[in-house]
Amino acid sequence: AALAETNTDMFSVALGAWLDSIASVFNRHAVPRLFALNPTLSTANGVPSFVYSDVETVDFAKFSQAWSTLAGVGFAFTPTDEDWLRRKVGMPARIEAET
């Protein structure tokens, strides 16, 4: 089981590197050329870019156990940490409390 998990991790890293490369080429060459071809497109808010989401799924049980262990030894999580955790495990975004 450990070997399969290691192979899956290595595949995810390799796939992520390919996706980085592909997105980089699109963002560097295709997007600027498309905007140059159509001057009616607004770039007031910047030019869009291609991004991809995580290529691997997180084992929620292992992930939550690790975070629980960190919290148990006094690790102080910041709101940025919580936002990252929520994205990683597919939870909805945190709602800021109104003051």
Of residues 30, 71, 61, 25, the one with CA closest to residue 47: 30
Model confidence, pTM: 0.52
Give pLDDT tens digits for 19-55: 999 999 999 999 989 888 887 877 777 788 888 877 7
Q: What percent of the chain has pLDDT over 70?
A: 89
- pLDDT of 27: 94
| Angstrom distance (rounded) from CA 94 to CA 86 | 8
Which tokens in the block code for residue 33? 């050329």
Give the residue with greater pLDDT, 5 vs 90: 90
Q: At what angle do helices 60-72 and 79-89 cross, to 10 degrees?
A: 160
User: Going by C-beta distance under 8 Å and a sequence separation of 6 or more, which residues neighbour residue 22?
Assistant: 50
- pLDDT of 69: 92
Residue 73 has pLDDT above 90, yes or no: yes
| Angstrom distance (rounded) from CA 88 to CA 67 | 12
- pLDDT of 98: 63
| Angstrom distance (rounded) from CA 67 to CA 40 | 48
